[in-house]
Homo-oligomer: A and B are copies of this chain.
Amino acid sequence: MSERKRKFWGWGWEGEGLNPDELKLLEPVWAKRLGVSQFEVTAPPQAAEIELRPSRISIPSTLAGVCTTDHFERLAHSYGRSFPDSVRIFQRDFSNPPDVIAFPRVEQDIVDVLDWCENAGAAAVPFGGGSSVVGGVEPPGSGFYQATVSIDLRNLNQVIEIDPVSEAARIQAGTYGPSLEAQLKPSGLTLRHFPQSFEFSTLGGWIATRSGGHFATLHTHIDELVESLRVVTPRGIVETRRLPGDGAGPSADRLFIGSEGIFGIITEAWMRLRKRPGFRAAASVTFADFYKAGDAVRVISQSGLYPANCRLLDAQEAGFAGAGDGQHAVLVLAFESADHPIDGWMNRALEICGDHGGEWDRSALEKPDSHREGAAGAWRNAFLRACYLRENLVPRGVISDTFETAITWERFADFHSNVKDEVHQVISEVTGNRAWVTCRFTHVYPDGPAPYFTFVSMGDKKRLLDQFHTIKQAASEALIRHGGTITHHHAVGRMHRPQYDLQRPELFADALRAAKREFDPKWMLNPGVLIDR
């Protein structure tokens, strides 16, 4: 990392974010949507104004080059980037910071830091980009641990080896998205995994949390892109064999993918790549009815066409993103290929849309950069800028968050309307203000979509955390009660634990606990996530 510093209180680099001109345009839009005349804005905290609890643990001299108790780093590793994280940050509540931050430079440093944590009775929390929105990287709250050591993988940031024949690369887990793609670029290959957090999240974080990426269909989860893994556990190193496919017993990789740091720290992975696409086509299709649009998406998802993008925005969400008129649902549809023109694919997908009442601008299809223009382009820009909204909405007292799930098609319409209505109801009750609950599909499968809900309402700054928790709990319970998953790609962390515990079979939790005792007998890795002791 260069001398640039990451904000400890918000998204991205210090000095970056929404600029005053952008805010001047956005504030009246927000005010109008939320039904308020103006906002009172809390200033972001300064590092110097926060007093931290002294570190409860001493760094051994052998780890002096790897570990720090630096004030800024402790601030920056106190929270992820969830809504309640942001509220507590603006409230200047840094009451449970990590005691030490480790920056391992090589794998052996991780082994040494874990050894030290075991002996010192410290919790060890793996830290990638810190973009968790589910409380996945914060120190445990209980008094069981003597201290917390946050292990930041940022120095393990190299693409070590590229195999251009098999289209795969061995990549260190601390590599951030942009650096990963930049290192791959000369080879003409790409991982093409672009979660919304792409700029400030890491390969290891994606694998540990089963991140969802660029492709709306087919290979959506990072799971499918992992060819093999290397993991440092307190009991030793686990390394799986590089294989394109295999049927030898239960998949070892799949036990670590999604393990959220409780078994070990992923240090590197062989990842499946692909050639950079040279053929592209994008279109945005409008529908008068969201469920009719959903039917079109279902048929496309079952067609074997596998569009790269197939994201359906409901009318309000499309309107807010500048991708629609606010009256029509918008389907952002795109195909890409490194091998062949995809006109045939796109034409058939549009034909399906037409069969379901979809309309699109035929002239936009002709343009070579159509995926960066029109509704598709507007949506793309909104998607990338959205990460900066939180640090501007929270200080204005606005409650704004997302929750996501997956559900089979035959239950989708009821599920969607029930969840949306229930969450809308609870927000109205909690805030007493106008509430918006919108929905889009982030990913779609032949057997169902992954709906992603956004909610916005004007909160009460003095009760923001309580208000949020009431809403979040209602939303999470609705997902589970109506048959969905508590998370499609945001992970479980500490925030989704109550509903995850309902979702996963209890005997499977016993098996996870049993595996945990093998890998991490002192139970020190990321406590509180997924399972309890």
**Hey, which bits of chain A sit against chain B, CB under 8 A?**
163, 165-168, 209-212, 220-221, 223, 227, 233, 235-252, 254-260, 263, 272, 274-275, 298, 302-306, 337-340, 344, 348, 406-410, 443, 445-450, 483-492, 496, 500, 503-505, 507-508, 510-515, 517-519, 530
CB distance from A275 to the nearest CB of B (A): 7
3 closest pairs, A vs B, by CB? A244-B448, A514-B514, A210-B247
Residues of B within 8 A of A519 (CB): 507, 511
Residues of B within 8 A of A484 (CB): 243
Instruction: Say how many copies of this protein the assembly contains.
Output: 2
User: How far does the alpha carbon of A263 sit from the alpha carbon of B340 in the complex, in Å?
Assistant: 46
Contact of A302 among B223, B274, B489 (CB under 8 A): B274
Main secondary structure of the interface of A (DSSP, over half): loop
B212 touches A247 (CB 8 A): yes
CB distance from A169 to the nearest CB of B (A): 11
User: How far does the alpha carbon of A500 sit from the alpha carbon of B246 in the complex, in Å?
Assistant: 11
A233 touches B304 (CB 8 A): no
- 30 A-B pairs within 8 Å (CB atoms) are namely A166-B410, A166-B447, A211-B247, A233-B507, A235-B507, A236-B507, A239-B505, A241-B485, A241-B503, A242-B408, A242-B483, A244-B409, A244-B448, A244-B450, A245-B443, A245-B445, A247-B485, A247-B487, A247-B491, A248-B486, A249-B492, A249-B504, A250-B254, A250-B256, A252-B504, A263-B511, A303-B339, A304-B339, A340-B348, A344-B344
A406 touches B446 (CB 8 A): no
Besides A221-B247, A239-B505, A255-B511, 18 other A-B contacts (C-beta < 8 A): A165-B408, A167-B446, A211-B247, A227-B408, A227-B447, A233-B507, A245-B450, A248-B487, A248-B491, A250-B258, A250-B259, A250-B512, A252-B508, A304-B338, A304-B339, A305-B339, A507-B519, A511-B519
A407 touches B244 (CB 8 A): yes
Residues of B within 8 A of A483 (CB): 241-242
B302 touches A255 (CB 8 A): no
Contact of A492 among B248, B446, B490, B500 (CB under 8 A): B248
User: How far does the alpha carbon of A244 sit from the alpha carbon of B484 in the complex, in Å?
Assistant: 10
A500 touches B303 (CB 8 A): no
CB distance from A136 to the nearest CB of B (A): 12
B255 touches A249 (CB 8 A): no
User: How far does the alpha carbon of A256 sit from the alpha carbon of B508 in the complex, in Å?
Assistant: 10
A244 touches B445 (CB 8 A): yes
User: How far does the alpha carbon of A71 sit from the alpha carbon of B333 in the complex, in Å?
Assistant: 62
CB distance from A294 to the nearest CB of B (A): 11
Residues of B within 8 A of A274 (CB): 302, 304, 446
B340 touches A168 (CB 8 A): no
B254 touches A259 (CB 8 A): no
CB distance from A162 to the nearest CB of B (A): 11
Report the nearest B residue to A254, measured CB to CB.
Answer: B254
Residues of B within 8 A of A487 (CB): 246-248
Report the nearest B residue to A238, measured CB to CB.
Answer: B505
Residues of B within 8 A of A505 (CB): 238-240, 252
User: How far does the alpha carbon of A445 sit from the alpha carbon of B212 in the complex, in Å?
Assistant: 21
Report the nearest B residue to A448, measured CB to CB.
Answer: B244
